[in-house]
Amino acid sequence: MRFIPVSCEQRETMLHAVGARTVDELFEVIPASVRLARPLALPPGMSEIDLAAEIEALAASNTGGLVSFLGGGCYDHYVPAIVDDVVSKPEFFTAYTPYQPEISQGTLQAIYEYQSMICALTGMDVANASMYDGATAFVEAALMAARVTKRHRVVVSAAVHPEWRAVLDTYAESGMIEVVTCPAEWGTTDHAALAALATDAAAILVASPSFLGCVEDVAAIGTLAHDAGALLVVAANPILLGVMEAPGVLGADIVVGEGQPLGNAMSFGGPGFGFFACREQFIRQMPGRIAGRTKDVDGRQGFVLTMQTREQHIRREKATSNICSNHALNALAAGVYLASVGTVGLEGIGRACIAKAHYLRDALIATGNFSAVSDAPFGNEFALRYDGDVGAMQHALLERGFLAGVDLSRFGDEFAGMVLFAVTEKRTRAQMDRFIGEVVSL
């Protein structure tokens, strides 16, 4: 978007509206001690043509064309052109909360369609209008389970992303819940330990695929949870739900996840959005907001916000969450993405990701430079142990045009020497073979 400055007349009009005579007077509310007392160190003014050329030159200095094998929660999937085209429309791009349904039918219907798609993917009955990100959706699921069961303690698998567990621990400092961590064996939850910890728990929280990409036995964990009177919360990868059995079918009570893979670019880590779905019996305890379909007095179809359990809509002490907004534009992108690829397309994307990930894993192990961390089933992501200096390896491959996975040592000493690789449908056989060749040459 280009910057077009205001005219002198427009500036005077705005100053008059706020009761200021000059721009300097407008900023007098800021203490002089914290104001910059010199001009900004900026180059002389340029024409629009020169400025555009300067910005393009700066942009060209960025590293581009890298082949990414990064994962860990943010993935390099292809985004169909229709996604950006739809979300860039002013009626969506500038819209906020659709408080007035009579003039927000398009936005409300888009949210409703998104919710319906999330329910179909997760096997759940209801979904909300999205949340900030996967981690906060995960935490809100724990808090919701505590409200539903009237219990205080939640059990989270150590196989869940460390950053998500850190967010959960941060919320737990309020005293609303107690968090107990269940041990995991290189990417999968220890079922024996889980059974012992589940007693009197409000919820068992797992991720499938896990942080290391391993697929959990959700059905067995669901049985453990329900036998103890706890709810089962499953964090899932939405792309792989096009191939894997829906968590709801396997016994999950609440399904959450990071929606970035659905039509949202990596963008250096954000923004994304969190999806949240649950069984209908828990709908009044679900945080956020829900768009519902109804009929007006003339029998015409219409859409409204319903079950609004935020503090703006009901008494604060009865609110289920203090979430006052969400990433609705990102959720809209997900809805457009799912509508554009369709059921068959999503399944094809998921199968391509899985097949390519298995090819790359086998090939990397065959080089002799990597060894397996786990033999558990996995999706499009896997962890390997590198026989050498991970940092040096990644730097060398970066110089050759590759982002060689995530160095897991940043998450703790137990991950020293381990690398997490992710493969999406965008990676070609030629790219992977070239990557393997570069690994061999190190």
pLDDT of the chain along its 442 residues, tens only?
Answer: 456 778 899 999 999 999 999 988 888 889 988 988 888 888 888 887 888 888 888 888 877 779 999 999 999 999 999 999 999 988 888 766 777 777 888 899 999 999 999 999 999 999 998 999 999 999 999 999 999 999 999 999 999 999 999 999 999 998 889 999 999 999 999 999 999 999 999 999 999 999 999 999 999 999 999 999 999 999 999 999 999 999 999 999 999 999 999 999 998 888 899 999 999 999 989 988 889 999 988 999 999 888 765 555 556 666 677 665 668 899 999 999 999 999 999 999 999 999 999 999 999 999 999 999 999 999 999 999 999 999 999 999 999 999 999 999 999 999 999 999 999 999 999 999 999 999 999 9
Percent of the chain with pLDDT over 70: 95
Rounded CA gap, 209 and 214, in Å? 5
Q: Quick one: 126 and 181 in the same domain?
A: yes
pTM: predicted TM-score of the whole model, two decimal places: 0.86
Q: Both ends of the chain: CA-CA distance in Å? A: 43
Q: What is the pLDDT of residue 151?
A: 97
Task: Say what angle helices 429-441 and 390-399 make with each other, to 10 degrees.
Answer: 120
Q: Quick one: 108 and 255 in the same domain?
A: yes
Q: What is the pLDDT of residue 268?
A: 85
- Judge whether 262 lies within some domain: yes
- Judge whether 37 lies within some domain: no
Q: Check: CB of residue 146 under 8 Å from CB of residue 203.
A: yes
Q: How many CB atoms lie within 10 A of CB 48?
A: 10
- Judge whether 27 lies within some domain: no
Q: Quick one: 255 and 383 in the same domain?
A: no
How many CA atoms does the CB half-sphere of 411 hold within 13 Å?
21
Q: Give the residue from 319, 337, 355 where a domain finishes.
A: 337
Question: Largest Cα–Cα distance of the chain, in whole Å?
Answer: 74
- Judge whether 33 lies within some domain: no
DSSP state of 441: H
Q: Quick one: 89 and 231 in the same domain?
A: yes
Rounded CA gap, 121 and 345, in Å? 13
Q: What is the tens place of the pLDDT at every residue in 413-430?
A: 999 999 999 999 999 999
Q: What is the tens place of the pLDDT at every residue in 50-80?
A: 888 888 888 888 777 799 999 999 999 999 9
**Count of structural domains within the chain:** 2
Rounded CA gap, 362 and 357, in Å? 9
- Judge whether 43 lies within some domain: no
Q: Quick one: 329 and 357 in the same domain?
A: no
Q: Which domain holds residue 387?
A: 67-77+343-441
- Judge whether 29 lies within some domain: no
188-189 vs 184-185, strand pairing mode = antiparallel
Q: Quick one: 173 and 311 in the same domain?
A: yes
Q: What is the pLDDT of residue 315?
A: 61
Q: Quick one: 215 and 291 in the same domain?
A: yes
DSSP 326-383: --HHHHHHHHHHHHHHHHHHHHHHHHHHHHHHHHHHHHHHHTTSEEES--S-BSSEEE
Q: Quick one: 328 and 368 in the same domain?
A: no
Q: Quick one: 215 and 290 in the same domain?
A: yes
How many CA atoms does the CB half-sphere of 71 hold within 13 Å?
23
Q: Check: CB of residue 288 under 8 Å from CB of residue 130.
A: yes
Token pair for residue 29? 């509310």
- Residue 421 three-state SS: strand
- Judge whether 30 lies within some domain: no
Token pair for residue 28? 């007098």
Q: Give the residue from 293, 315, 337 where a domain finishes.
A: 337
- Judge whether 32 lies within some domain: no
CATH number at residue 185: 3.40.640.10
Q: Quick one: 308 and 192 in the same domain?
A: yes
Q: Quick one: 142 and 187 in the same domain?
A: yes
CATH number at residue 359: 3.90.1150.10
Q: Give the residue from 285, 314, 337 where a domain finishes.
A: 337
Q: Quick one: 87 and 189 in the same domain?
A: yes
Q: What is the pLDDT of residue 305?
A: 86
Task: Say what angle helices 134-149 and 162-172 make with each other, to 10 degrees.
Answer: 50
Compute and round to an integer the Cα radius of gyration of the chain. 25
Q: What is the pLDDT of residue 42?
A: 86
